[in-house]
Structure 1
Amino acid sequence: MSRTALAVARVRAYESARPDPLFIDPYALAFIAAAGAERPTGGPTGPFARRLVAHGILRTRYYDDRLLAAGAEQVVLLAAGLDVRAHRLAWPDGTRLFELDLPPVLAFKERVLAEQDARARCARTVVPADLTDPAWPDRLVAAGFDPGRPTAWLAEGLLVYLEADRAAELLTTVGRLSAPGSRLLLEQGRDVTGTPVEEGLTGMTDLWRGGLGPGTGDWLDAHGWTTAFTALADLADSLGRPLPPAVRPAGGGTPGGTGPGFLEADRN
């Protein structure tokens, strides 16, 4: 089972248990229990972990809101992991949602959702695929995806795990599959050099490759998209969730951790 997918599920379970949650994920604890992972009994203790968890919570709510606001009848979740937006968001009638991820991740997810008798609130299609395999677009189309229709794409927390060339290749493919009027949601990107080392997090942060880094928005603007930026701090203020202090990496430089914010890119 994916360590990163379980880590995100833990964050969503933690937030769902708060008295004032920004969202509720009704299946996060079921995924954790099925994987035999430790239940989130309290918040993170380290400064970097606190910042990272706050980012994950705010990111989830931001993408919830922006996916629904996109108004697209066709939605694609890239590297969907244990995301259950198909089941917990109030999708408009006629929405068709595609989830792509590695076969073992999706097999685990489907088993747990079946055990929970979960019901999707839109037409949901699961597409087992490796996003580093050039054949994934063909699998998506074979599953019923229509490249001629505007699409809302979500790449939540994905690009940081890819090398720059892999990230550019993936976004180029998404652009090729995106009709005018499509929208792509993703992080602006971060410089992962000097990422703070904190107990319990290295299993995830050691996998970070940086993607396109802080230049993600510029890359998209140069490749047929028009981007709008939402700063993480501004989002936190708007939702009444002040951010923990940023952590400065050893040796100085740019604060590490969560990156500057989020991008909403519209296809020209």
Structure 2
Amino acid sequence: MSEHSSTSAQKASIGYTAYMTAAVRAHESLREDRLFTDPWAAALAGAEGERRFRQLEDAGGSIIVRTRFFDDFVQRIVNEQGIRQLVMPACGLDTRAFRLEWPPAMTVFELDQPDVLHYKEGILQAQQARPGCRRHLIPADLTETSWPTHLLEAGYDPALPAIWLVEGLLFYLPNEAIHQLLGLISKLSAPQSWLAFDAIHSAMTSSPLTRQRMERVSRLGVPWIGTIDDPVSLLASLGWQATVTSTARKGYEYNRPVYPFISSDQLTPETEKLYHWLVTAVRQSQVVQQG
């Protein structure tokens, strides 16, 4: 297989993971003690999403946890800081523009591959879904450097603070692509902007406790290859002040077990490296250039 064909196949597969994520959100929405409600998730997931859902080690616990965590984060920042721009690179089949409460003048920019956005819009229109905010769809390849131009053309204002939510993406990218993406986001972010993303530590890729998951995603053609071992230092070098927690800790708080299943009294800084980081950061008023 040529390098171009391999890259194309990986991009297509990353799109397929969006179906599985939607299936997880659909199942969570059926629970009486649900952490969120996504009325469109089942239709978006379809049969492909259900098939992938049945292969998960923890019924999507980490996806459920990150969804609730980022829901709370985005709504808190919008309400407390008055920010009215939300950018979602690799938005997939996310429906936050529809299912969350938004203030007047809120604008959500959704970026993803054209096929993903086309599929998503077809389902949402068939469901007669209506967003609660202004919403702009931007077909984009985030591994290239042209997407900021498309974002600006859609009305994004880099002079105003924004929220960036990069969910379920970074661990699929090579480390160089992660740094490139975060660098571009930083250049587009005014002081007092906020950034949120999930990421993995390199320990997750080699631990016996996570081998089952790492082998599964590799078999599916979407290996987890991108790691960030020190999100705080990395973001500080780009002008952000970051806070980090793990899906394990939030999972116990939300009563949603997360794979690998380690009891709360065994959680340590070392064992937390086997879970997804949940990172939030604020853009500093003065960026210190690292020499």
TM-score bracket, shorter-length normalisation: 0.7 to 0.9
The 3-state SS of whatever aligns with 1:25 is: coil
Aligned partner letter, 1:53: G
Matches within 5 A, 1:150-229: 150-191=161-202, 192-194=204-206, 195-197=210-212, 201-204=217-220, 206-211=222-227, 213-229=228-244
Match of 2:42 in 1: 29
- CA–CA distance in structure 2, aligned partners of residues 225 and 259 of structure 1: 23
Matched, 1:9 2:15: no
Residues 151 and 56 from structure 1, CA distance in 2 versus in 1: closer, same or farther, beyond 3 angstroms?
same
SS at match of 1:127: strand
TM-score w.r.t. length of structure 2? 0.80
Tell me how far 1:204 sits from its aligned partner: 4.7
Distance 1:204 1:172, change over 3 A: farther
Deviations 1:32-84 (A, max 9, x none): 23xx426379x8577xx11x711110000000010111122000011000000
Distance across 1 between alignment mates of 2:274 and 2:24:
14
Alignment match, 1:237: 252
Contact 1:74 1:95 in 2 (8 A): yes
Deviation of 1:19 after TM superposition, in Å, equals: 1.7
Displacement of 1:94: 1.3
| 1:196, distance to aligned residue in structure 2 (A) | 1.5
C-alpha spacing 1:152/1:203, structure 2 compared with 1 (3 Å): farther
8 Å CA contact 1:55, 1:258 repeated in 2 = no
The answer on whether the counterparts of 1:4 and 1:204 sit within 8 Å (CA) in structure 2 is: no
Distance 2:278 2:172 in 1: 16
Cα distance in structure 2, aligned partners of 1:45 and 1:66: 29
From the two aligned structures, give the one with the greater helix fraction. 2
Distance 1:265 1:233, change over 3 A: same
How many Å apart are 1:206 and its aligned residue?
4.0
Q: Which runs of 5+ in 1 are unaligned?
A: 248-253
Aligned match of 2:84: 73
> What is residue 61 of structure 2 aligned with on the other side?
54
Note the C-alpha offset of 1:158: 1.1
User: Partner letter of residue 24 of structure 2?
Assistant: V
Give TM-score, length-normalised by structure 1: 0.86
> Is 1:267 aligned with 2:283?
yes
Contact conserved, 1:196 with 1:257, CA < 8 A, in 2? no
- Aligned to 1:140, what secondary structure does the other structure show? helix
CA spacing shift, 1:6–1:149, aligned 2, 3 Å: same
Point out 4+ residue stretches in structure 1 off by more than 2 angstroms. 36-41, 43-46, 192-195, 197-207, 230-234, 236-247, 254-261
**Runs of 5+ unmatched residues, structure 2:** 1-11, 263-269, 285-291
- Asked whether the 8 Å contact 2:205–2:224 carries over to 1, the reply is no
In structure 1, the residue corresponding to 2:160 is in which secondary structure?
A: coil
- Residues 85 and 106 in structure 2, CA contact (< 8 A), matched pair in contact too: yes
Partner of 1:251: none
Counterpart amino acid of 2:85? Q
Q: Is the Cα–Cα contact under 8 Å of residues 231 and 242 in structure 2 kept in the other structure?
A: no
Residue deviations 1:4-47 (CA, integer Å, cap 9, x gap): 111111111111111211011111111123xx426379x8577x
RMSD across aligned C-alpha pairs, in angstroms? 2.5
Aligned residue for 1:197, secondary structure, equals helix
Cα drift, residue 165 of structure 1: 0.7
Task: Give the deviation of 1:230 after TM superposition.
Answer: 2.3
Identity of aligned residues (%): 36
Paired AA for residue 115 in structure 2: P
Partner of 2:148: 137
Cα distance in 2 between the residues matched to 1:16 and 1:190: 29
Counterpart for residue 250 of structure 1? none
Q: How much does 1:216 deviate? A: 2.5
Counterpart Cα distance in 2 of 1:258 and 1:45: 20
- Mapped partners of 1:10, 1:257: distance in 2: 26
Residue of structure 1 in register with 2:287 after alignment: none
Q: CA deviation at 1:159?
A: 0.7
